[in-house]
Structure 1
Amino acid sequence: MDTATKIMESLQEMFEHQGRQARQAAIRTIMNMRMKPGTPVRDHMLALIAQFNVAEVLGAEIKSETQVDMTLETLPEMVSQFKVSYNMNKLNMSLTELMKELQNAESVLKTKTGDAFVVASAGPSYSKPKGKNGNKRKKPNKKGPQQNEKKVKVDGKPKGKCFHCGEKGHWKRNCQGYLASKKQGSGVPSNQKPQ
């Protein structure tokens, strides 16, 4: 062969079939990628960007908008709200900008739920369970009946300290000094009256 152009054309004819198979394998890898539970969004996005670069080197021409759409489809169901917002606001981002936005969304979810996108394996509901009024559930009583020991009556007498006179063995509502001062109209205990 006389020129470099003819040599390149000859090599392309010989190895074109292998290049096509490699390009198809790279595209198949991208299409089958899904974000695994427990993986930080940054690691997943970097792996995707690397696969897009491999496909591009092998001759695949995937527009940046299509790359972003393909990336959004690899994300867990947990970020469906982000996808809806992206589509409703007709946003147009590069992959690196999308990665930054997803990291922001991940940090917001982490502060709200204590987990990142890790909970994606549990299904679409990613918030912690809540009670009837939207408050977090109270933890069950692990100590049993001993927990409320200060307010339990022992041998017919309440155990604890009176908030009025400070003596043990009765409560304020049963305190003789408190009841007497209440009848007189002053709420000040008799042992604390100014002299």
Structure 2
Amino acid sequence: MKKILLTLSVLVALSACGGQAEEQPASAQPQEQAQSELKTMPVSYTDYQLAANKGLADQKTGLTLPEHISPTNNAEGKNLLHDFSDGLTLTVDTDKADKITAVRVVWNTDAVPQKAEKLSKAAAALIAATAPEDRTLLRDTGDQIKMAIDSHNAQKEPTREWARGGVAYKVTVTNLPSVVLTAKAE
């Protein structure tokens, strides 16, 4: 009787170990699948760069995103960090195929009205380049920036959010004071 119980417990232990080994590959698949399903915008980095430079030129900012600047590899895809000469910082994230996943623009507000307006226009152009075919996104982004700054100055909610074409946009004014604009694929 003891031998039968011992044999049964060994069989149960072996079957339990065998079941776990089969489950591990199945649980690894959702992780790989999640990485391959990184949400992207319908624009590549090259198209974004062209649209950004056109928008910067149209807004007469005097800024350009240099052609030699391109995203570099990281664990999830590629990313780029570029500091413009007058305090504007751009971050662009892409997947491995160079499709844009997120764009972030940060700048410090300036006491000189002309420079503050130039930075605001440049930031709006960089965000609007995520959807180059959308003719109203540039104007709407500029309006959202103004509303967020006005709200911040009035001690109200300094964040504005909107979505368009599968992309979530956000502008936040902080107490530094700086303005942060983001565009992220939904």
Q: Which has the larger radius of gyration?
A: 1
TM-score, structure 2 normalization: 0.24
Higher strand share: 2
TM-score, structure 1 normalization: 0.23
Higher helix share: 1
